A and B are shown apart, each in its own frame.
Chain A
Amino acid sequence: MRQTLSTDFKAQWEEASGSPLRLHDPARAYAGINLEAVAEPADGAALSRVLQVLDEHQAPAAILGSGSRSWLGNPLRPTRIGVSTLRLSGIDEFDEADGVVRVGVGTTLDKLAEKTARSGWWLPIDSPGRGGTVGGALATALCGPRRRGFGPVRDAVLGLDTVLADGAQVRCGARVVKNVTGYDMAKLYVGSLGTLGVMERAWLRLRAAPETALVLQASLEGAVLADALAVARRATTRAITVIDESLISVGAPRLGRPPALGKRHRLVAEFAGDGPAVNQDANWLTDELGAEPAPADSIESLRDLQTFQFPIGVRVRFHTRPSQGEQARTLLERGGARCLICPEPSVLTAWFEAGLDEGEDPWWLDQVFAVIDEVRAHAEAEAIIEALPEWAQGRRDAFGGSPVLGLMRELKERFDPNGILNPGRFVGRL
């Protein structure tokens, strides 16, 4: 398969696409694949030409951002070229009166959030992990601890400029906050891991910064999710997680505080909004569960924890109905997992850690898969495998399939008939 791209090819490419192609020697690893060249278009027109060239040659490409969330998805099918979105950056327009911003997808989340925060607006995108670009956050549509307050990523997207596989530059939505003009195409591109088109620029909706925000933590025992759900349903709750204490020392040491004796779980909640309402909820939590103030950067610690990985282990994300959360937690803990749980909407991240032996252990992996399947069946959960040991890569569809995979294939076929965009990465290895 391996066949080095020549410098001739580089020249031809650049002429055809009008976009610089950076050759890598040695090849750069990305999602388990060694890329030999990466195109870095600087605007939509260049991106369009890049994709046209690839489409004409039926040459598959990896769609790249900063790589901070590349752990999500199935392994990329063998591909030698990457298309980077990093140069599609910049804040084009920030309407402070309206609370909307137009931004290139290559812009980093941190930079954008910092800029809007200075004018009193929050970027309501709370992707797990650190750093990363707007494009990556939209393509993965992953949610962090503030899912309760911010809603899903797709809700922040008002409009998108996207380049399709055949090079067509299409727009959907607009800068306004309410819009039903035509099909809601943005829903397709958001969360599709770049497999239907490459997002170029986005209009995002911001949220006014709250008057007050407080983060508290408390220790829990017993049927922890009943307590956690009550916290989640307070009026000002913005972030809420329940964490296995044993994860904190390994994955989020900055949360501090030794575990309370005999209590396996810790609850971290953030209340945000008007002062009196936030104080009312904080006082309630203090009275009910003996909560104490948590360190200022607790939410960041939780985001880090969501991407924590054991040297050899499996990380899985489950979605259940809130009433099934406790059942899922019980099954997972009985199966040897440690959990980080957002009670509503109910999302559980579970870690399975293998023994110290670095060799392959298919028996252990089968045990883990059995637990995952049990939770799927008994807690009516969807499961997405976020991380596997290297030797187990690709053993299962990370997304666990879909009952409407036929429709999804049909959709992919129409948008990317030559399969050039991130082949193999998405559900059903589309």
Chain B
Amino acid sequence: MRSRNRTSSGSTRDGWIDALRKIVGPDACLTSQAELYAYACDGLTLDPHQPEVVVLPQSTEEVAEVVRACRAAGRAFLPRGAGTGLSGGAHPLNDAVVISCARMNQILNLDPRDRLAIVQPGVVNADLSVAARSEGLFYAPDPSSQQACTIGGNVAENSGGPHTLKYGTTTNHILALELVLPDGSVVQLGSATGGATGYDLLGACVGSEGTTGIVTEITVRLEPLPEAVETLLVIFDGVPDACRLVGRIIRGGLVPAALEVVDRRTVEAVEASVYRAGLPQEAGAVLILELDGPACALPAQIEHIRALADEAGAQEIRVAADETERTRFWRARKGAFGAMGRLAPDLYVHDAVVPRGRLPEILEEICAIGDRYRLKLSNVFHAGDGNLHPNISFDRRDPDELERVIAAGREILEVCVAAGGVLTGEHGVGTEKRDYMGMLFGPDDLEAMKKLRATFDPEGVCNPGKIIPSTRACLESNPKARGYDRVPFT
């Protein structure tokens, strides 16, 4: 971490910071070193960058003015939600000004007739579903961090979650955006009707990791709460068996609301945490399977699953007895990432996608890679989407282990890509995988992406340094370039 010595008052050193302070108010303009330190990274703690100033605007107008002031001062800028991202998308590179949306947290309109809501970007994902519940609706994308992450952040990352199997990811639920462009103008993309004419700029902006502008208002589609929900735990000897059942379910045409696999190491960590749910710790793998829909259809589906599970060699099937137990299962699943923090001081959460039919063999390969590099590797993933999350627990203060973590991570991605998979299914590219983009895309592919980006941000001032590798040569994984070497006590 580069730390600069600064005065905490920040009084007149730079006129442009005063200008920002005038726009948002002194209380919403952070300049003291300690405060800025808290904004140096998101859920990816490697390679933090301390910003020079953080502003917390409260309206679209304030955001637009902040953007114009940054442009006038020749400063880059980036949006930040709750900082729960896992790919470094919210790391302020190039001394970018952090525009935090934490105070833009109002649900502006919740319309049950048209089943939509208009929200500010700082609204917490779970809060929206809680608010919609009384109207019999919910907001479907449910990233594991949903109790903290914001809708604005979800839009930037096109976040997924366990229930995307049936309901789709964030992009399938966004009807319109209000966007402050990098030149400070405000535009509306998309339409509440879902029928906006012209190029699908809305679709291109969702998942653009905050590089096309600052989203200030979001119109989302809400889904009706299903009439009935059943959550099952299917217990297996090993992860590959669980994956085989997933394959059979997909092939058989049943689309569960979620199909999640948790391996033994993860179960142990979760059961030691506040999110414990009574998952069987002796099992090799637990498949969390959720069915939802009309009540009359579920009994037959459960029978169908039972038959398939028996064929796949499941040890046992448990059906959640009630809503409380169901909630406990899901809290356990969603707390899994953080719970891994118990195993070692650091955790590398990987994110890759492979064709679902190839899950068993690829998981075996991934586990072999972990063993080969003598790493503590665990798997908890969205099996129904083929979205893997191999987690490596490590201690970054051990430089040798760190090297092995990086080498193994790269090898895992190579295996996934070779199988027809991709580098990330829901965490985004950010800074973490920027330099791996060459594994999947050639120069022309990246050039096309740059054209899209330049349409919105010709000068590259909005969240610079993300997604697209800085130079074509920089496709090698270089631990130094990625900041892994900057660790204490080495």
Contact = CB atoms under 8 A, between A and B. Distances in A.
Interface in A389-426: 399-405, 407-408, 410-411, 414-415, 426
A185 B449 contact: yes
A233 B112 CA distance: 12
B425 A178 contact: yes
B262 to A, nearest CB: 18
B138 to A, nearest CB: 15
Contacts of B253: 120, 208-211
Given A179-B422, A187-B200, A273 B297 contact: yes
A323 B114 contact: yes
Given A382-B197, A411-B452, A178 B247 contact: no
A114 interface: no
Q: Which of B114, B200, B355 has the most CB of A within 10 A?
A: B200
Given A98-B250, A180-B158, A277-B296, A321 B193 contact: yes
A277 B293 contact: yes
Nearest to A427: B198
Contact size class for A?
A: 35 or more
B256 to A, nearest CB: 12
B428 A180 contact: yes
A227 interface: no
A347 interface: yes
Given A180-B157, A183-B204, A407-B187, A322 B198 contact: no
Interface stretch (B18-26, B127-135, B168-176, B481-489): B168-176
Contact of B187 (A178, A235, A404): A404
A182 B199 contact: no
Nearest to A155: B172
Given A95-B355, A233-B224, A180 B427 contact: yes
Contact of A184 (B203, B250, B356, B446): B203
Tell me the dominant secondary structure on chain A's binding face.
loop
A235 B425 contact: no
B200 A178 contact: no
Contacts of A410: 455
Interface in A168-189: 168-172, 174-185, 187-188
Given A96-B251, A188-B452, A177 B385 contact: yes
Contact of B437 (A182, A188, A275, A323): A182
B453 interface: yes
Given A183-B208, A187-B203, A426-B198, A319 B193 contact: yes
A420 to B, nearest CB: 16
B55 interface: no
A426 B382 CA distance: 39
A191 interface: yes
Nearest to A120: B253
Q: Which of B113, B197, B203 has the most CB of A within 10 A?
A: B197
Interface string A146-181: 000001101100000010100011111011111111
B198 A235 contact: no
Given A99-B250, A178-B385, A401 B114 contact: no
B292 to A, nearest CB: 10
Interface in B150-208: 157-158, 160, 164, 168-169, 171-172, 187-189, 191-204, 206-208
Interface string B80-122: 0000000000000000000000000000000101111000000
Contact of B353 (A178, A183, A322, A403): A178
A55 to B, nearest CB: 14
B113 A323 contact: yes
B444 A170 contact: yes
A162 B296 CA distance: 45
Given A174-B353, A182-B467, 20 more contacts: A97-B251, A171-B445, A177-B385, A179-B424, A179-B425, A180-B160, A182-B441, A182-B445, A188-B199, A191-B200, A211-B253, A277-B294, A319-B194, A320-B193, A322-B113, A324-B193, A345-B194, A403-B187, A411-B199, A411-B455
The 8 closest A-B pairs by CB, nearest first: A319-B195, A208-B253, A187-B203, A97-B357, A427-B198, A277-B297, A274-B297, A277-B294
13 contacts: A97-B356, A98-B250, A175-B420, A178-B382, A182-B446, A182-B468, A185-B449, A187-B200, A188-B203, A275-B300, A276-B297, A281-B294, A382-B196
Interface of B: 111, 113-116, 157-158, 160, 164, 168-169, 171-172, 187-189, 191-204, 206-208, 224, 226-227, 247, 250-255, 293-294, 296-297, 300-301, 353-357, 382, 385-387, 420-429, 433, 437, 440-442, 444-449, 451-456, 467-468
Interface of A: 95-100, 120, 151-152, 154-155, 162, 164, 168-172, 174-185, 187-188, 190-192, 196, 208-211, 233, 235-236, 273-277, 280-281, 318-324, 345-347, 380-382, 384, 399-405, 407-408, 410-411, 414-415, 426-428
